[in-house]
Amino acid sequence: MAKVVRAIRGMNDILPEESFHWEFFEQIIRKWLAIYGYRNIRTPIVEQTDLFVRSIGEVTDIVEKEMYTFVDHLNNDSLTLRPEGTASCVRAVVEHNLLYASPQRLYYSGPMFRHERPQKGRYRQFHQVGVEALGFVGPDIDAELIIMCARLWQMLGITGLRLEIGTLGNAESRALHRARLIKYFMQYEEMLDEDSRRRLHTNPLRILDSKNPKLQEIINSAPKLIDDLDEESRAHFETLQQILRNRGIDYEINLRLVRGLDYYNRTVFEWVTDRLGAQGTVCAGGRYDGLIEQIGGKSAPACGFAMGVERLLALMLECGEDVSRPTPDVYIVHQGETVIDFAWKTAEFLRNEGFKAILHCGGGSFKSQMKKADASGARYALIIGDDEVLAQQVTIKPLRENSNQACVELNAVVDIIK
Ligand code: HAM
């Protein structure tokens, strides 16, 4: 036998037993985005590597070790499978000058790729729904993004998520803070681990994100960005909180919220759950006012977030949302050479009426066809034999309840199924 080819580690097939959960989720997502006026943008899943290096930042885990980068040998271009959607979205907005006339509320969804160590809730191909509001200075739009998330959790039946918000200030306050952090951590250089020492001068903010238990005490006493915050950013953060409080959204302030991407300034936020083990962040984002200019556009403010679909789906099911498996309305069982034409006609007639009809294919005895009808989950079996064709009627047999079968005309089938 030929050797079996398997999927790549950390990249999952989503089989029919599971995919109906995805379809349920996607329907809700579409409705949710529509009621907030967000429009869909679709970009390629491969981009020039440089786009991600410049936007996500050279000294980040994603760019340093998680990107699927390869050379297109046909023209020697360095290409990368997108590890996230913001960079591509901003690239497209700049390339097509979408901010020319007005700000944009956009969303995208689809697979993203990061070469991380796979575990529950963490995959190498995973899916995001991302929302980006471009051209708004905020903080009202920051609040809108957070508030719309809160509504989505309700629509998905998800409870118990914690909202953490923080602020990173503007470029100057971050530069000031950075300098203070370097000075502070230099005092403990001997005690830092290799990763943190390497980041000391390139990206000291990321040291704050270290999970190394030996460093937690040093990290806890490190200078806090809030003390270096510029006045405008402070006011921005205050107003955001005011709106959230007025709208009844609970939040915790987390001034250590660092995020794994470098493009953020001012507002950052994460929605977190304790119910999924280690990978508890289901949705995260923030403001990135410098990114559009950084990748060649005319300076414009922007803010957005992305959620991990696998994690949210797991949480939705964990919270008890009962997604019903899609089943056909009828399964058409037929036998006899003269019958097939009437069986096709019946199936198409019912589909025209909007019903889900499965026409048995592949022949077989009456008994085996009835078994398949039952296994399909259909509510009714329609039985067509020579007698039915003669009478131009079908026999309808309920499969899920104890009532008798009846021989009726096609129009009557519609009434019964309804
Ligand atoms: P991120 O925090 O890197 O942000 O990813 C957003 C979400 O994607 C995470 O909170 C998580 O739910 C999910 N996620 C990330 N990596 C994985 C993985 N390996 N497996 C499963 N799920 C994962 C961004 O990507 C930003 N682009 C968000 C954003 C949009 N900021 C502004 N606009």
> Residue 258: pLDDT above 80?
no
State the pLDDT at residue 174. 85
**Is residue 227 pLDDT above 90, yes or no?**
no
pLDDT, position 175: 86
Residue of 284, 283, 266 lying closest to 138 (CA atoms): 266
State which ligand 1 atom lies nearest to the alpha carbon of 261.
3
Per DSSP, what are the bridge partners of residue 359? 332
Position in ligand 1 atom list of the atom nearest CA 86: 27
Percent of the chain with pLDDT over 70: 100
pLDDT tens track for 109-133: 999 999 999 999 999 999 999 999 9
Provide the percentage of residues in the chain whose pLDDT is more than 90. 82
Minimal CA–CA distance to 60: which of 248, 159, 153, 195?
Answer: 195
Is pLDDT larger for residue 138 or for residue 163?
Answer: 163
Q: What is the largest CA-CA distance in the chain?
A: 95
Q: What confidence tens digit (pLDDT) does each residue in 67-116 have?
A: 999 999 999 999 999 999 999 999 999 999 999 989 999 999 999 999 99
Ligand 1 binding residues, C-beta < 6 A? 84-86, 114, 116, 122-123, 126, 128, 130, 132, 260-261, 281-286, 288, 304-308, 310-311
The Å distance, Cα 382 to ligand 1 centre, comes to 48
**For ligand 1, atom 20, which residue shows the shortest CA distance?**
122
Instruction: State how far the Cα of 192 lies from the Cα of 196, in Å rounded to an integer.
Output: 6
The confidence score (pLDDT) of residue 238 equals 97
pLDDT of amino acid 279: 86
Which tokens in the block code for residue 134?
A: 């471009």
Task: Report whether pLDDT(52) > 80.
Answer: yes
Strand partners, 283: 271, 307
Does 147 have pLDDT greater than 80? yes
User: How far does Cα 92 stand from its chain's mean position?
Assistant: 20
pLDDT band at 38 (very low <50, low <70, confident <90, very high): very high
Q: Which atom of ligand 1 is nearest the CA belonging to 116?
A: 19
Least confident of 35-39, 78-82, 228-232, 355-359: 228-232
Whether residue 245 is predicted with pLDDT greater than 90 in this model: the reply is yes
pLDDT tier at 344 (50, 70, 90 boundaries)?
A: very high
Average pLDDT of 293-301? 96
Mean pLDDT of the chain: 94
Residue 288 Cα to ligand 1 midpoint, Å, equals: 15
Out of 157-161, 175-179, 249-253, least confident range: 175-179
Question: In this predicted model, what pLDDT tens digit does every residue of 168-205 receive, in sequence order?
Answer: 999 888 888 889 999 999 999 888 888 888 888 888 88
How far apart CA 333 and CA 252 sit, in angstroms, is 59
In the numeric block, which tokens belong to residue 404? 């008798």
Least confident segment among 60-69, 184-193, 352-361: 184-193
Q: Considering only CA atoms, which residue is closest to atom 10 of ligand 1?
A: 283
* Ligand 1: centre distance to CA 193 (Å): 26
**d(Cα 75, Cα 4) in Å, to the nearest integer?**
33
What pLDDT does 260 receive? Answer: 87
d(CA 219, CA 179): 15
Q: Picking from 191-195, 287-291, 368-372, which range would have the lowest pLDDT averaged per residue?
A: 191-195
Q: If pLDDT is split at 50, 70 and 90, which confidence band does 403 have?
A: confident
Task: Please tell me the distance between residue 214's alpha carbon and the centre of ligand 1 in angstroms.
Answer: 27
Q: What CA–CA distance (Å, rounded) separates 59 from 204?
A: 10
Prediction pTM value: 0.92
Which residue's CA is the nearest one to ligand 1's atom 17? 122
**DSSP letters spanning 329-376:** SEEEEE-STTTHHHHHHHHHHHHHTT--EEE--S---HHHHHHHHHHT
The pair phi, psi for residue 162, each rounded to 5°, is -105, 135
- Side by side, which strands form the sheet with 330-334? 357-359, 330-334, 380-384, 394-398, 406-408
Ligand 1 site-directed mutation target among 60, 84, 283, most atoms within 8 Å of CB: 84
More confident residue, 138 or 345: 345
Alpha-carbon gap, residue 99 to 134, rounded angstroms: 8
Orientation of helix 49-56 relative to helix 86-95, angle to 10°: 110
State the pLDDT at residue 259.
Answer: 86
Rg (CA), the chain: 28
C-alpha 112 – ligand 1 centre gap (Å): 9
Q: Which band of pLDDT confidence, cut at 50, 70 and 90, is reported for residue 310?
A: very high
So what's the pLDDT on residue 353? 96
Distance in Å, CA 307 to ligand 1 centroid: 6
Ligand 1 centroid to residue 127 C-alpha, Å? 9
User: Which amino acid would we find at residue 330?
Assistant: V
> What distance in Å separates the CA atoms of residue 380 and residue 357, rounded to the nearest whole number?
10
pLDDT at res. 200: 86
| Per-residue pLDDT tens digits for 327-341 | 999 999 999 878 999
Kindly give the pairing relationship between strand 125-134 and strand 302-308. antiparallel
Nearest to 207 by CA among 183, 237, 227: 183
Above 80 in pLDDT, residue 232?
yes
The whole-angstrom separation of Cα 86 and Cα 307 is 12
